[in-house]
Chain A
Amino acid sequence: MPDISVYKTPRGLSPKVVREISRQKNEPTWMLELRLRAYGAFKKMPMPVWGPDISGINFDEICYYAKPILGKKKSWSEVPKNIRKTFDRLGIPEAEKKMLAGVGAQYDSEVIYQSLRKELSGRGVIFTNTDSALKEYPDIFKEYFGQAVPFNDNKFAALNSAVWSGGSFIYVPPGVSVEIPLQAYFRINAKGMGQFERTLIVADKGSEVHYIEACSAPLYSEVSLHAAVVEIFLKKGARVRYTTIQNWSDNVYNLVTKRAMVDEAGEMRWIDGNIGSKVTMKYPSCVLRGKKAKGEMLSFAYAGKGQTQDTGGKMIHLAPHTVSRIISKSISRQGGISTFRALSRIAKGAKGSKTHMRCDALLLDKKSKADTFPSLKIDEQDASASHEAVVGRVGSEQLFYLRSRGFSEKEAVAMIVTGFLEPIVKEIPLEYAIELNRLMGMEIRGL
């Protein structure tokens, strides 16, 4: 794939690079100032001392911003041919593209293709890339940006805040239900390119929206870094579902901060699937700050050779009668490491709140590993909390049973694995479920 970026910042990070990114994007001063403060926080903050080894990231070698083509194209046919080809290779059928309400396709750091159905904009729904939103909707942007994930939340959130580019911006007005999922496709393409997209979703009172990001990346030998930030705000009674299916190439460090602020009776649902990458650290969280707010986190992870999936979730109960659930399934194979790390906190005063976490880990061989670190911090007497964790292996009796029906050993393992994931896979849209099952089947059969 030729490198078609027309503008790139030099490798490495400095205030000069941060200024240049902001200048290229023609941003207001407040954003530049925020970026610089975030840069300062990033430089100051140490690398996390817990979790998997991420010392392989060389921040000086990463290119933090690249602009693939000038301007934004309006329709698919105007998108340059070799970029379209990349998307075709992702296997997005033409019919599906048309069916989608809008495709926000991220190529390198710039959103190059955005189409939004008229009926959606007619109902006041905003679905655009985050860079455009900063210019076109400055008030709402400024009100929410960085309010769920502050620039100094953690080292990688700070990095993202300093160099962010692209991502999706969604606003759904009160009472509006967006029936069709809004989707974006992400891809890391230029060598050694970082990807630092920023997504901001505001679901106003009683509104409903489902956002899907499906990521896939081609293989590169150089180390890549993906450090995204997703912020979601649910007003009273709003319902948001955020589905992620990621298949990063196995050299990518995938360190993402995702957080939703849920007001009264709001319902946030994260569905998070992690297949590729070298190391993934991701714990989507919900801050349940209004009474009767609900948070749910369903995740599945696949850790193959040389891969670490360190995933889980966080639920913070700040108001009475809030309910949360964290359900995780992981598969480890060929020495892969799956770690479940989850926290539920029920603050004093969050009376009648409930939290439950469950982790199922499936090990496909003796070399692989699964760890679970569930944590419950309950400061309220009138609350209930529970957790369960099961680590299992594919049993020889199960294999024999399936083989006696005519299935080969690999087919049998693939059946057990897809069956193991089914309770979560059935929650994701059909086209992705099929793709995912195919992918898992290929992973297992390609032993």
Chain B
Amino acid sequence: MLTIRNLHVNSGKKEILKGITLHIKKGETHFLMGPNGAGKSTLGMALMGHPDFDVTKGTLFFNAKNITRFAPEERAKLGLFLAFQHPLEFEGIRLYSFLRNIAVKNNKAVFLPAVFYSALEKNLLSLGMGREFAERYLNLGFSGGEKKKTEILQLLEAKPKFAILDEIDSGLDAESLLRVTKAMAALTRNGDLSLLVITHNARTAKYLPPRKVHVMVGGRIIASGERNLINKIDKHGYKIFK
């Protein structure tokens, strides 16, 4: 599904990622953990094609296609998705119409407004959000947790094959975390979705069990392992990897 080969990424003149190699198969969930400033979010941005992050070396393959130089929208079309750590606010863009645009864009299907709306209502309720959110401007004045949920609503409309969830669990209360991870787990179970989950939260693994866990420090993946790696990190922190 997604292969990252020796990826080096600069922000300006500064090298942030210093040779990342990862392979995530169809339907797999991988966790990416590491201290603040390790470069985890940069990897997410680079995978999605953020123009401010230069790939100076290395290659990105998505389903055997070299997408290293692809524009963000081209990656989205292929089935990549990034749930942002800090979702942006947009005045004047209503959540309802934004989601509908995403659905139309990514599924090439034209939905009747009524059909679309009832499906959206179901998604809203499953995430514990009221109907009134549909009419509000995208993320404007939303709480941290609500913003994270609209990322998931967008994901549900985009129906990606591969998604990066950048600290989707931060800002979510216990119940919301359960709802969000449940929605993701349902998609991964059928093998419809692969995930790279960036997190600091050991509890997330309980609901969304990872196949593999990677530890990033200083722009490098310095350890990879099974789920039990999370417990080790929880107990000892990242110093044991140094």
Q: Which residues of A pack against B, CB within 8 Å?
A: 396-398, 400-401, 403-409, 415-416, 418-423
Q: Are A401's CB and B102's CB within 8 A? A: no
Q: Which residues of A contact B241 (CB under 8 A)?
A: none
Q: Are A401's CB and B87's CB within 8 A? A: yes
Q: Are A401's CB and B84's CB within 8 A? A: yes
The 3 closest A-B pairs by CB, nearest first: A419-B92, A422-B92, A406-B76
A400-B72, A404-B48, A419-B137 given; name 12 further pairs at CB < 8 Å.
Answer: A396-B52, A400-B51, A403-B76, A404-B73, A404-B81, A405-B158, A406-B76, A415-B101, A418-B92, A421-B92, A422-B92, A422-B137
B73 and chain A: residue at smallest CB distance: A403
Q: Are B91's CB and A420's CB within 8 A? A: yes
Q: Are A404's CB and B72's CB within 8 A? A: yes
Q: Are B93's CB and A398's CB within 8 A? A: no
B contact residues, range: 20 to 34
A421 and chain B: residue at smallest CB distance: B92
Q: Are A405's CB and B90's CB within 8 A? A: no
**Minimal beta-carbon separation of A308 from chain B (angstroms):** 25
Q: Which residues of B contact A415 (CB under 8 A)?
A: 90, 93, 98, 101
Q: Are A406's CB and B82's CB within 8 A? A: no
**Minimal beta-carbon separation of B70 from chain A (angstroms):** 11
Q: A405: which of B45, B71, B105, B137 is its contact (CB, 8 Å)?
A: B105
A407 and chain B: residue at smallest CB distance: B73
Q: Which residues of A contact B84 (CB under 8 A)?
A: 401
Knowing A400-B51, A405-B76, A406-B76, the reply to whether A423 touches B105 (Cβ < 8 A) is no
Q: Are A400's CB and B73's CB within 8 A? A: no
Q: Are B76's CB and A416's CB within 8 A? A: no
Q: Are A419's CB and B72's CB within 8 A? A: no
B160 and chain A: residue at smallest CB distance: A406
Q: A408: which of B73, B154, B158 is its contact (CB, 8 Å)?
A: B73
Q: A403: which of B71, B92, B98, B158 is its contact (CB, 8 Å)?
A: B71
Q: Does B189 contact A (CB under 8 A)?
A: no
Contact with A along B161-191 (1 / 0, CB 8 A): 0000000000000000000000000000000
* Complex CA distance for A422 and B92, rounded to whole angstroms: 5
Q: Does B106 contact A (CB under 8 A)?
A: yes
Contact with A along B65-106 (1 / 0, CB 8 A): 000000111011100011010011011110000100110011
Q: Are A422's CB and B91's CB within 8 A? A: yes
B48 and chain A: residue at smallest CB distance: A404
**Minimal beta-carbon separation of A422 from chain B (angstroms):** 3
Q: Are B92's CB and A406's CB within 8 A? A: no
Q: Which residues of A contact B158 (CB under 8 A)?
A: 405-406
B83 and chain A: residue at smallest CB distance: A404
Q: Which residues of B contact A398 (CB under 8 A)?
A: 88, 90
**Minimal beta-carbon separation of B213 from chain A (angstroms):** 25
A418 and chain B: residue at smallest CB distance: B92
Q: Are B93's CB and A406's CB within 8 A? A: no
* Complex CA distance for A405 and B75, rounded to whole angstroms: 9
Contact with A along B40-75 (1 / 0, CB 8 A): 000001001111100000000000000000011101
Q: B73: which of A396, A406, A416, A423 is its contact (CB, 8 Å)?
A: A406
Q: Are B93's CB and A422's CB within 8 A? A: yes
Q: Which residues of A contact B137 (CB under 8 A)?
A: 419, 422
Q: Are A397's CB and B82's CB within 8 A? A: no
Q: Which residues of B contact A400 (CB under 8 A)?
A: 45, 48, 50-52, 72
* Complex CA distance for A423 and B158, rounded to whole angstroms: 27
**Minimal beta-carbon separation of B69 from chain A (angstroms):** 15
Contact with A along B99-126 (1 / 0, CB 8 A): 0011001100000000000000000000
What are 24 sample pairs from A and B whose C-beta atoms fall under 8 A apart? Answer: A396-B51, A396-B52, A397-B88, A398-B88, A400-B48, A400-B50, A400-B72, A401-B84, A401-B87, A404-B72, A404-B76, A404-B81, A405-B105, A405-B158, A408-B73, A415-B90, A415-B98, A415-B101, A416-B93, A419-B93, A420-B92, A421-B92, A422-B92, A423-B92
Q: Which residues of B contact A409 (CB under 8 A)?
A: 73
Q: Which residues of A contact B92 (CB under 8 A)?
A: 418-423
Q: Are A407's CB and B81's CB within 8 A? A: no
Candidate in B71, B82, B91 with the most chain A CB atoms within 10 angstroms: B91
**Minimal beta-carbon separation of B79 from chain A (angstroms):** 10
Q: Which residues of B contact A416 (CB under 8 A)?
A: 90, 93
Q: Which residues of B contact A420 (CB under 8 A)?
A: 91-92
**Minimal beta-carbon separation of A20 from chain B (angstroms):** 50
Q: Are B77's CB and A406's CB within 8 A? A: yes
Candidate in B50, B52, B92, B93 with the most chain A CB atoms within 10 angstroms: B92
Contact with A along B132-146 (1 / 0, CB 8 A): 000001000000000
A400 and chain B: residue at smallest CB distance: B50
**Minimal beta-carbon separation of A276 from chain B (angstroms):** 22
Q: Are B93's CB and A405's CB within 8 A? A: no
**Minimal beta-carbon separation of B172 from chain A (angstroms):** 20
B102 and chain A: residue at smallest CB distance: A405
B155 and chain A: residue at smallest CB distance: A405
Q: Which residues of B contact A418 (CB under 8 A)?
A: 92-93
Q: Are B90's CB and A419's CB within 8 A? A: yes
Q: Are B88's CB and A401's CB within 8 A? A: yes
Candidate in A400, A405, A421 with the most chain B CB atoms within 10 angstroms: A405
A420 and chain B: residue at smallest CB distance: B92
Candidate in A409, A418, A419, A423 with the most chain B CB atoms within 10 angstroms: A419
Q: Which residues of A contact B82 (CB under 8 A)?
A: 404
Q: A406: which of B51, B87, B106 is its contact (CB, 8 Å)?
A: B106
B106 and chain A: residue at smallest CB distance: A406
* Complex CA distance for A331 and B207, rounded to whole angstroms: 47
**Minimal beta-carbon separation of B158 from chain A (angstroms):** 7
Candidate in A404, A408, A422 with the most chain B CB atoms within 10 angstroms: A404
Q: Which residues of B contact A421 (CB under 8 A)?
A: 92
**Minimal beta-carbon separation of A396 from chain B (angstroms):** 7
Q: Are B91's CB and A407's CB within 8 A? A: no
Q: Are B90's CB and A407's CB within 8 A? A: no
**Minimal beta-carbon separation of B46 from chain A (angstroms):** 12
